[in-house]
Amino acid sequence: MKFSLVAALVVVLALSQGSDSASLVKREAPVDVETVIKYFQELSDLLTKTTQDLVEKVKAHELTEKANAYIEEGRAQLQPMSDQIQEQLKPLTDSVQTQLKPLTDSIQPQLEDIWKILIDASKALTN
């Protein structure tokens, strides 16, 4: 990139110095060379900034891909363990449910009686 800038500058200088044209043209040549130098410098700065932005975006994209890969790898490793824990807890939950069912069946009529008493008491208060 710098080579092309130097090459363009050399060509412009050679053209401006090598010609035997009128003095008016020679006076304008330094202004044109400065303009060309400024243009190439701005172009170089723009390309540098654009390249840096592109590199940062590529790095961010790669980081996202790596994070997703780690998450998938972790999920793949934890899924068999999760399935195994569920299989081991199933008999335990069935056992607890079996033990608690008679208790809940015996409490339910008592709760229904309490509910009826509360409803009757609230009806008595509203009348």
pTM (two decimals): 0.39
Give the separation between CA 103 and CA 10, rounded to whole angstroms. 98
Write down the number of H helices and E strands in the chain: 2, 0
Residues 100-120: pLDDT tens digits? 999 999 999 999 999 999 999
The arithmetic mean of pLDDT across residues 63-70, rounded, is 92
Mean confidence (pLDDT) of the chain: 83
Q: The tokens of 105 are what?
A: 């069946």
Q: How confident is the model at residue 22 (pLDDT cuts 50, 70, 90)?
A: very low
Q: How confident is the model at residue 23 (pLDDT cuts 50, 70, 90)?
A: very low
CA gyration radius for the chain? 42
pLDDT tops 80 at residue 39: yes
Q: Cβ distance 37 to 9 under 8 Å? A: yes
Domains of the chain, residue spans = 2-100
